[in-house]
Each structure stands twice: as structure tokens, then as C-alpha cells.
Structure 1
Amino acid sequence: MSLEQQIQKESERFQALFDRLSDAQWSDGALPEAQNYLITCKDHVRLAQENITEFNTAVEKEHKRLLDIKGHGVRHTWYKVRGKLEERLDEQEKTWLQEFEKCKEEEERLIVLQEEVRSAETYLHECQTAYDEYINTKRELDEILEDFFSGSTPSYPEEDVMEQDLKKQEEQLISLQNQHRLLTHVFQLLHKAHQAVMIARRALDDALNMNTFDLFSKSSFADIAVSSNLARARNASMQAQQFLNEAKRVSPNIPHIGQIFIRQDNLVFNIMFDNIWTDMSMRQTIHEALNRMCRADTFLLGILAGMKEQLERCEVDRDKKSKHVKCLATEHFIKRITIVQNIIKMPPPYSSEV
């Protein structure tokens, strides 16, 4: 069966799908607008509720002042002695009524805004329903078009060229998406490694401070604190090394950072034989570890900066390619639709019985 015969056979189904697609196409642009409008309406409701709370507080405050003036307290006596009680009562009552009216107006406005939210939700539901219909119909239409045009169509070489170009661009997009995911994963691993290195550096700084204290105090507490901070630094360095190893496994091109493992001496030995020599030996150990951590920190910052720049470029390329693929897919879809419509409009071939 030729392509033209196949299309003529499925013409009614195609036309029904095309009409459904045309009827629901408005939802493609209306849905995001409806979503944004609903968000705006809800923001207005939230602000109105905050205003009502603020106005209620002001109303209660002014009403309390009014009651204080009406009562027999200090304010009542003060204004009465000065002969301004009635005047002050009128002023305070006006102030209270003004705040009360503002609150009531905002409550009425809130009712209107809440109605707008309900209308916006209803409209959004309509848009979502129509959009779902649009997506499902387009998928069915894509399937029937793929049945028509899959493979080579010598009668329509332009469609073949567009199809091959679209497939090529889609493959490139998939490659960019995979590359972006890979770079993101590596960047996150390196970032975690850098955070662990920073923790190790802080722990080593604390260990060095306690070692300095130990040089002058000869306190076993200082030895314990040094050992504790070294253990914290060692654990952080091990975590950093694990993250680096994983990043290196995923992306072998990452430069080698070097050894960042931190050695820890025997705490019991240091306490039992605590003297200037053991303290100085520990100090040297801490300094060596700090130097390694500082080098690793600087090196990681450089790698992270380069990786971030590479990730941003990849993201730009991916987004650009994605837009290009969408445009090509739309053009290809329209091209196929046009071909099918032209074939359906063609008069049937003339035949005569002999």
C-alpha cells in the first residue's frame, strides 16, 4: 500500500485528531498564564489577610484607649480636670471608628479576592484539562504520522531531510543532557570534598591551638583535646578523599590533588610520656597536615572554578540545543501535517471499467 493510499485510508481518523488538536491548542499558552495568575491572586489574598491582622491590632489598641478614657482611670481624670474629656472622647472614638472601617473594608476586599482565587482555580483546572487533551491528542497524531512517514519517503525528500536532521539534533541534545548531569554530579562531589577539607582545616587549627596551650600548661586535657581535634580532622579528610575518589572515577580527567590523609599519634603514649619533645613532634605533625589541607583547599577551589565555568557553558549549550530541537520538531510536525492534508484533498485517481 502506497503512502497516499495509507493516508486516504486513515483520513477520517487523522481529521478527527487534527480537529481535536486545533480545539485544544489554546491551552498550550493559556496554562502557564493561568498558573501565574493564580499565584498572583493568592499573593493578594495573603497580603489582605496580613493587612486585616494589622488593622485588627490597631482597632484593639484604639478601642482600649477609648475604654481607658471612658473609664475612671488616670487618663479619664486627667482629661476631666483639664476640661477636655468630651473632646478627647470624640477624637478617640473617631480614631477607633476609622481603624474599624479600614479593617471592614479590607475584609470585604478579602472576600472579593478569595472569589478571584476560586475563579482562577476553576480556570486553571479548565486549562489543565484542555492541555492534557492537547498533549494526548498530539501524541496520538504523532504516532499516526510516524506510521505514515517512518523510514524513507522518496516522494517527499524534504520531509526525509527534516526527519534526519531532527534525529541528529535530538542525539546531540541527549549527549548534552548526559554531559550536564555528569558535570553536575562531579561538581557536587568536588564541592562536598572541599567542604570536608575546610572542616579538616578548622579541626587542625583547633588542634594547633590546643597544642600551643599544651606547650605551656603540660595538661593531659590539652593532649586529649589535640587528639580529639586530630580525629575530627582525620575523619573529615577521609570523607574528602572518598568524594575525590568518586569524582575521579566518574571523571578521570580531574587532576590529582595529592595525599590528604591525616596521621594521628597514640593518645595514651602522648599522655604517659608528655614532654616538650612529644609536643613539638605533634606540632610538626599538625603543621604538615595543615600544609597538605591548605594545598588541597587551593587546588580544589581552582578545580571547582573551572568545573563551574564548564558546567555553565554546558547548561547554555543544552538550553540552546533544546530550543533548537523544539523548533525543528514543530517545523517537522507542521510539514507532515501539510503533506497529509494535501494528500487528503487530492481527488481520487480516475479509473474506467473496460
Structure 2
Amino acid sequence: MIFPPSYGESLLIPRFRSRPDETPIDTVEISFTEAAMADIRARILEAADAHISLISRMSDLEHAPFTLDQQSKYLQDLKRTLATLKTELDTLRKVTSKERKDHQDLRDSFARRYAHKLTGRSEKFVSKIEKEEREYLDAVHNQRSAEEKERYLEDTIAETENRVAELTIQTNDYVNLKEQSEHLYKKVFNGPTPEFPEEDQMEIAVQHAKDFFAEAQSRCDKDQEAEKLMFRAEKSVAKAVKFCDEALSASSWDVWGGGTVADMIERDNLSKAKSTVSQAQMLLGQATGLQDAIGPFDNVKIAGGHTTDIFLDNPVSDFEFHKKVKETYVQMRLLHQKVQLELQTQRGRALDSKNNMEDAKSQLAAARAELDKVRREVFERVTGIPCSAGTPPAYDAMDSPPPLDPEEPILVS
């Protein structure tokens, strides 16, 4: 930890004599550095047994978090595979049912067999029966093969779920031990450790990594939220473009004699466009507040007229208003293109921010791991007792069950 420059400086503390005729005041130099070193060693020796116990138990469970993550992903893959297989199996059962019916109908058709016999075509009839029988047997084989795979997947899923449950308990235990270890380290290494400067240096490095990660996390959250706002704004502007397009169509109709109905459709769509783009502008403002690199965006002036224009209709006013509606449509299209471009750019920023956050997270984890390593080494140097239990044993459970038999593909006729 950071300590003041004067922490290790010596102070002169007077030792007074009771008799004035004795030698003058003597001085005893007491070093704060020596006191701090003695204090840290005392704390380390006091916590040595608890530290060894924690490290040993953590070593036994160190595999759990990683293995839990792998097994959880594997379980999800198994469940997706099973869901797909069940859909295919439904189809196979329908095929088998159909082939069974066709085969039985042909085999049991006495009248058709007798007719073939009378016409001398019994061999062709037998060949047809054999063909139906082969198709039926193939369907049965495919169905049974799929059912075996289904049973295999269900059994494997059950085993994996049990394994995940066990690993979850182990991971929770590991996290709890990790918290106890961090609490012990904070208690032992509270304050500067001048005898072990590498511990102070790594504490500073961890604090810097924490600050960097917090900043990266904040930037990532803001960029992702800005991306969501931009996505919603793009949808709103797209709707406004559609309303403007419909208003433009009604305006064109009005120019050619659409009358009052065209006027009302025109102004209704312009009103909807105004409301929708207003919502979009609010969303864009919020996004810009989170990420100032977004924008700027031009304001769209929605064409508007007095209600009396509907009743005082004439070709000249219709044509003039048509030009305003067309200009509104063009502006709205330009705004939509700008928002689409900014949305794609913001998606890139959000992705970069996420990657930076993940890098910062990894750096923080590495710094914390290095600090733990340094502190373990300090414990070893002071106590003379090795703290490392070596590489944790490999997880002896089935990490990756065998895949489905590739020689027996699922066939759907």
C-alpha cells in the first residue's frame, strides 16, 4: 500500500534521567521501518496456519470454476441437440407409420394378389411387396437408431446436470474460500510493507487495474445503452419516412383532384410523422448524451397547413403544399440515412468498448493473481513453510462424453 515518505524515517526520542547531575539527555533512535517490519512479520506468523489451510483447500477446488463453465456450455449444446433430434424423430415416426401401412395394405391385399396371378404378373407383385418391405424396414431402422440416440442424449444430459450441480457447489465453496483469503490478506498486509516492496508495488498495480476496469466498464455500459437508443431511434425514423411517403402519395393524388379525402389523408400522415420523429429526436438526444461522438442530426421541418386549407381547396395551394410535403419526405429520408450510418458506427464503438472492457477485466484478474502470488511468497519467506500445493489434480469426472456415433446418421425420408 502507498505510505507517506516520512514513514520509514527515524525519530529521536529523548530518554530522561531522574538526576540533573548525571550525563545529559541521551537519545535512542527508533526506526519506524523496523517497527513496521516486526509488525508485519508478527501478523504473518499469526495467520500462517489459517493461510496454509485456505491455500490447500483452494488448490483442491481451483479447477471448479473453469470446469463448471465448460460443462454448462456442454449441457446447453446437448439440450439443443436433443431438441433437434426430437423434431426429427417425430418426422421419422410419421414416415415409419406410413411405410408400415403401405406395406401391410399391399401384403394383405388378397384381391390384388389374385388379380396379378390371373394375369401372369405375380412376380411383379412379389417384387413390389419386397420393395415396400425394404422401405418399411429402413424406416424402422432409422427410427430405432434415432430413439437410441435420444436415450443416449437424455442419459448424458442427466449425468451432466448432476456434474454441473456438483461443480456449482464446489465453485461456490471456492469463491467463499477466495473471499476468506482476500480478507486475511487485507488484515495481514494492511499498511505499508517496507521489507517487501514488491507487495506494495503490486497493490498499486492492482489499484490502477481496478480504476482502468471501472472506466472501461462504464464506457462499455454507456456505449451499449447508446446503441440500444440508436436502434429504437432508427425504427422511429423509419416509421416517420413511411408516413411521409404516404402523405406524399396523398398529396400527389390531391394535386390531380383528390379533394377533401386526399387532404385529410395527407395531413393525418404528416401529423403521425411529426409525432414519430419527435420521439426519435428525443432518443437521439439521449444517445448523444451517452456518446458525444454520435451525430449531429439535422432537424426535419414537417410540412403543415391550416385546417381551413382543406375547405378552401384550389390547384395552386395544393401544388404549393405538395412541394412542401416532398421536401419533408426528402429531409426525412436524409435523416434516416444519417441515423442508419450512425447506428452502424455506434455498434462498432460498442463492440470495441466491450473488447476493451474484457481486456481490462483480464488485466485486473492477472494483477490480482500476481498480488496473491507475491503475498504467498512473502508467507513462505517469513514462515519457511511452502504455501503452494502444486498443480491441482485433473478433474477425474467425464469432461467430454463421447459424441454420437458418426456411422449412424439420422435419416429422414
TM superposition score normalised by structure 2: 0.75
Structure 1 stretches lacking a partner, 5+ long: 347-354
In the alignment, the residues of structure 2 paired with residue 255 and residue 32 of structure 1 have an alpha-carbon distance, to the nearest angstrom, of 40
In the alignment, the residues of structure 2 paired with residue 260 and residue 71 of structure 1 have an alpha-carbon distance, to the nearest angstrom, of 78
| Matched-pair contact (CA < 8 Å) for 2:47–2:188 | no
> Is residue 2:296 matched to residue 1:259?
no
Structure 2 stretches lacking a partner, 5+ long: 1-37, 386-413
> Is residue 2:222 matched to residue 1:182?
yes
| Matched-pair contact (CA < 8 Å) for 1:194–1:300 | yes
1:156 offset after TM fit, Å? Answer: 0.7
Looking at CA atoms only, which structure, 1 or 2, has the larger radius of gyration? 2
Query: Structure 1, residues 69-90: CA drift from partner, whole Å, max 9, x if none?
Result: 1344885566444213445434
329, 343, 353: which one aligns with 2:382:
343
In the alignment, the residues of structure 2 paired with residue 241 and residue 44 of structure 1 have an alpha-carbon distance, to the nearest angstrom, of 45
> Is residue 2:170 matched to residue 1:133?
no
Query: Structure 1, residues 69-119: CA drift from partner, whole Å, max 9, x if none?
Result: 134488556644421344543443344234324323432343233222211
Over 3 Å counting, the alpha-carbon distance change for 1:78 and 1:184 in structure 2 is farther
In the alignment, the residues of structure 2 paired with residue 305 and residue 93 of structure 1 have an alpha-carbon distance, to the nearest angstrom, of 59
Which of 186-195 and 219-228 deviates more?
186-195
1:124 offset after TM fit, Å? Answer: 1.5
Query: Structure 1, residues 2-59: CA drift from partner, whole Å, max 9, x if none?
Result: 1121122222222221121011112132112212332343344334434432332222
313, 316, 320: which one aligns with 2:352:
313
Over 3 Å counting, the alpha-carbon distance change for 1:240 and 1:164 in structure 2 is same
In the alignment, the residues of structure 1 paired with residue 145 and residue 267 of structure 2 have an alpha-carbon distance, to the nearest angstrom, of 68
> Is residue 2:354 matched to residue 1:330?
no
In the alignment, the residues of structure 1 paired with residue 287 and residue 227 of structure 2 have an alpha-carbon distance, to the nearest angstrom, of 8
In the alignment, the residues of structure 2 paired with residue 189 and residue 169 of structure 1 have an alpha-carbon distance, to the nearest angstrom, of 30
1:13 is matched with which residue? 50
Which of 15-24 and 255-264 deviates more?
255-264
1:273 offset after TM fit, Å? Answer: 0.9
| Matched-pair contact (CA < 8 Å) for 2:248–2:329 | no
**Correspondences of 1:201-280 after superposition (within 5 Å):** 201-251=241-291, 254-267=294-307, 269-280=308-319
In the alignment, the residues of structure 2 paired with residue 40 and residue 250 of structure 1 have an alpha-carbon distance, to the nearest angstrom, of 37
Over 3 Å counting, the alpha-carbon distance change for 1:200 and 1:161 in structure 2 is same
1:67 offset after TM fit, Å? Answer: 2.5
Q: Which has the higher relative contact order, 1 or 2, with Cα contacts under 8 A spaced 6 or more apart?
A: 2
Over 3 Å counting, the alpha-carbon distance change for 1:220 and 1:177 in structure 2 is same
Q: Which amino acid aligns with 1:230?
A: L
Q: Which amino acid aligns with 2:371?
A: H
SS of the aligned residue for 2:122 comes to: coil
> Is residue 2:97 matched to residue 1:60?
yes
Aligned-residue RMSD, C-alpha: 2.6
> Is residue 2:169 matched to residue 1:108?
no
1:151 offset after TM fit, Å? Answer: 2.7
| Matched-pair contact (CA < 8 Å) for 2:260–2:311 | no
Where is the helix percentage greater, Structure 1 or Structure 2? Answer: 1
Query: Structure 1, residues 127-181: CA drift from partner, whole Å, max 9, x if none?
Result: 1111111111111111111111133111110110111011012101111111122
> Is residue 2:93 matched to residue 1:42?
no
In the alignment, the residues of structure 1 paired with residue 203 and residue 319 of structure 2 have an alpha-carbon distance, to the nearest angstrom, of 74
Q: Which amino acid aligns with 1:52?
A: L
Over 3 Å counting, the alpha-carbon distance change for 1:87 and 1:298 in structure 2 is closer
1:158 is matched with which residue? 198
Which of 16-25 and 315-324 deviates more?
315-324
In the alignment, the residues of structure 2 paired with residue 254 and residue 96 of structure 1 have an alpha-carbon distance, to the nearest angstrom, of 64
> Is residue 2:107 matched to residue 1:70?
yes
In the alignment, the residues of structure 2 paired with residue 165 and residue 320 of structure 1 have an alpha-carbon distance, to the nearest angstrom, of 15
Q: Alignment length, in residue pairs?
A: 345
| Matched-pair contact (CA < 8 Å) for 1:201–1:290 | yes
| Matched-pair contact (CA < 8 Å) for 1:234–1:263 | no
Over 3 Å counting, the alpha-carbon distance change for 1:191 and 1:97 in structure 2 is closer
Which of 174-183 and 187-196 deviates more?
187-196
1:291 offset after TM fit, Å? Answer: 3.6
TM superposition score normalised by structure 1: 0.87
1:352 is matched with which residue? none
